[in-house]
Amino acid sequence: MIIRFLRLAAAAVALAGALPAAVQAQSPSFWVMSYNIRYDNPEDRPDWRMRREPMARQISFFSPDILGVQEALVPMVADLSAALPGYAHYGVGRDDGDKAGETTTIFYRSARFERLLAQTRWCSPTPERPGKAYDAALPRTYARVVLRDRASGVLLDVRNAHLDHVGAESRRLCARQLRDQPTWPGARLVVLGDFNSAPGEPPHDVLTSGGDGLRDARAASPIVFGPAGTFNDFSPGAPPVGPIDYVFVDRALQVLRFATLTDTEGGVAISDHFPIIVQIAAP
For 68-108, the pLDDT digits (tens) are 999 999 999 999 999 999 999 999 999 999 999 999 999 99
- Does residue 24 lie in a domain region? no
In a domain, 151, yes or no: yes
Residue 21 lies in a domain: no
Position 133 in a domain: yes
Q: Is residue 37 part of a domain?
A: yes
Asked if the structure places residue 19 within a domain, the reply is no
- DSSP label at 231? B
Environment class of 88 (CB within 10 Å of its CB; exposed 0-12, middle 13-18, buried 19+): middle
Helix residue ranges per DSSP H, the chain: 2-18, 21-25, 48-62, 74-83, 168-180, 202-208, 217-220
Q: Which CATH number do you get for residue 137?
A: 3.60.10.10
**β-pairing, 224-225 with 141-149?**
unpaired
Is the confidence at residue 14, as pLDDT, over 60?
no
Residue 160 resides in a domain: yes
Is it true that the peptide bond before 243 is cis, omega within 30 degrees of 0?
A: yes
The 8-class DSSP code of residue 127 comes to T
Pair 163, 175: CB distance under 8 Å: yes
Residue-wise pLDDT tens digits, 23-66? 444 558 999 999 999 999 999 999 999 999 999 999 999 999 99
- The pLDDT assigned to 28 comes to 87
**Is residue 23, in this structure, part of any structural domain at all?**
no
Domain span including residue 270? 2-9+29-281
Rounded CA separation 210/207 (Å): 9
- The total number of structural domains in the chain stands at 1
pLDDT for 6? 41
